[in-house]
Amino acid sequence: MPSRHALVRRPGPRLAEGLVTHVDRRPVHPARALAQWEEYVRVLRDHGWRITEVDPADDCPDAVFVEDTMVVFRNVALLARPGADSRKPEVAAARAAAEALGCSLNEIRAPGTLDGGDVLKVGDTVYVGRGGRTNAEGVRQLRAVFEPLGARVVAVPVSRVLHLKSAVTALPDGTVIGYPPLVDDPAAFPRFRPVPEEAGAHVVLLGGGRLLMAASAPRTARLFTDLGYLPVPVDVGEFEKLEGCVTCLSVRLRDLYA
């Protein structure tokens, strides 16, 4: 049967020093961030996800945002080459975790850069945000790895937010959702539904119509309820101060077979 496995990495002691690009820096409270992370992991586990904790990278302030270390399509893990030099050391332990799960490994090589948060998978379509952290060579290499596996790779512009998935994610039926002021080109997506709050653009599909999402988007949660979904809100406010969201705190592996 297909797995539901999630890689996570607990926040490190330098979290408050994490990079910010499109927002003003605000104080981050490490103890509160750890409690929020633990609740996030508990929700994944309670909804049937097997959890693997990636080894710490305590010298890397942004290491908790483990999604940026790789993109997984079918059983192939494409190791990222982060666009920010300070984040490049985050990848080594993530590689070891993916290898231990039996993934086939590939990697982005210089001069390519790619952050996992710039990649949105909707069925066999793989949208890649071309912007500040992912360059054209990174997109080319991702296409070369995943298209032979049956992926359709679509590059889309990203200039208003840190990563593509800072602007858009997708509902279980494949509809892409986003907060319009932060989406460069809504027409890039065949089905696009606007949401009323920035944090409402980010969902993790837990299974069974349940959507893990930020507690800071109550109006969007009501919209999803009206659409027949079951929102599962979590407080990720400390990570939102660092341009993080519910997607970037884990790598979800749905297509591994045991």
Q: What is the DSSP letter of 26?
A: -
Residue 29 contacts residue 235 (beta carbons within 8 Å):
no
Distances (CA, A) of 126 to 27, 133, 153, 164, 226: 35, 17, 5, 12, 28
248 part of the active site: yes
Q: Distances in Å between the alpha carbon of 100 and those of 8, 52, 97, 104, 241?
A: 14, 10, 5, 10, 32
Residue tagged active-site, from 60, 103, 245, 248: 248
The reply to whether 245 belongs to the active site is no
Catalytic residue among 5, 163, 202, 245: 163
Determine the residue type at 209: G
SS3 assignment, position 96: helix
Tokens 């908790």 belong to 64
**CA geometry: angle 239, 244, 250, nearest 5 deg:** 100
Contact criterion met (CB below 8 Å) for 164 and 131: yes
CB crowding 235-248: b at 16 or more within 10 Å, else e: ebbbbbbbbbbbbb
Active-site amino acid positions:
163, 248
